[in-house]
């Protein structure tokens, strides 16, 4: 369970994003880590009830480092102002489409989906929409899915992708280069003792879409 301490620390970190402040508040960061690891363990335990390939996954392998990679960034702030984890087989580096959570003051989210597909993966995604649009639409237009994941992230091409007619009935879906769904949580929801269960519930709703994309990207050609 997360406490107010977690979001408070992240708020202070955003205001004091430097190594000197971070080192002088290291004990508070360690407390944040403990809380977040416990939350992630509860989430992972819940996910294994319907996601068997997570059974041997360790929490430590799901959690991202708070340190930023600043090598190619103009922003040289050394730390992220959020904590995050991805739940996939073996952890955050599963190379599959995973359940992603990010804890941040006033911006906590659960999300997942197609974010950075290869050209081959994007071509498979569009081809499947062209051949069988009902399968994807049946998932993302489902009432419970649409109600929970009502925020869509993803760039679209301005013109119709090459090889498809401009009057294609699913033109808007075909234009997506990314299709990532998000649910946002208020701060008081994050502190709720049932928050881990709420995340698991959201993941269960999201699972059919992740299964759809993972099948297209990683199983269809095996």
Q: What is the pLDDT of residues 75-115, one digit of tens each?
A: 899 999 999 999 999 999 999 999 999 999 999 999 999 99
Q: What are the phi and psi torsion angles at 181 (to 5°)? A: -105, 145
Please report which confidence band the pLDDT of residue 72 belongs to, taking 50, 70 and 90 as the band edges.
Answer: confident
pLDDT value at 23 more than 70: yes
Instruction: Quote the Cα angle for 30-36-39, to 5°.
Output: 145
Please report which confidence band the pLDDT of residue 219 belongs to, taking 50, 70 and 90 as the band edges.
Answer: confident
pTM of the predicted model as reported, rounded to 2 decimal places = 0.94
What confidence score (pLDDT) does residue 220 get? 62
In the CATH hierarchy, which top-level class contains the domain 4-219?
A: alpha beta
Please report which confidence band the pLDDT of residue 71 belongs to, taking 50, 70 and 90 as the band edges.
Answer: confident
**CB neighbour burial string for 32-65, b if at least 16 within 10 angstroms, e if fewer:** beebbbebbebbbebbbeebeebeebebebbbee
């Amino acid at each position: 369970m997360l406490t107010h301490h977690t979001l408070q620390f992240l708020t202070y970190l955003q205001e004091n994003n430097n190594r000197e402040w971070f080192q002088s508040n290291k004990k508070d960061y360690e407390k944040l880590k403990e809380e977040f690891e416990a939350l992630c363990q509860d989430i992972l335990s819940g996910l294994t009830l319907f996601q068997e390939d997570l059974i041997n996954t360790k929490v430590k392998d799901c959690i991202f480092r708070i340190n930023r990679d600043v090598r190619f960034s103009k922003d040289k702030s050394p730390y992220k102002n959020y904590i995050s984890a991805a739940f996939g087989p073996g952890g955050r580096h599963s190379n599959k489409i995973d359940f992603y959570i990010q804890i941040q003051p006033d911006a906590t989210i659960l999300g997942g989906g197609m974010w950075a597909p290869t050209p081959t993966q994007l071509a498979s995604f569009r081809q499947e929409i062209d051949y069988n649009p009902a399968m994807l639409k049946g998932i993302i237009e489902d009432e419970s899915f649409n109600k929970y994941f009502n925020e869509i992230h993803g760039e679209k091409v301005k013109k119709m992708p090459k090889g498809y007619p401009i009057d294609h009935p699913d033109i808007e879906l075909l234009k997506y280069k990314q299709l990532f769904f998000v649910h946002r949580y208020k701060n008081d929801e994050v502190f709720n003792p049932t928050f881990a269960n709420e995340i698991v519930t959201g993941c269960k709703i999201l699972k059919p879409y992740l299964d759809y994309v993972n099948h297209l990207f990683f199983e269809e050609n095996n």
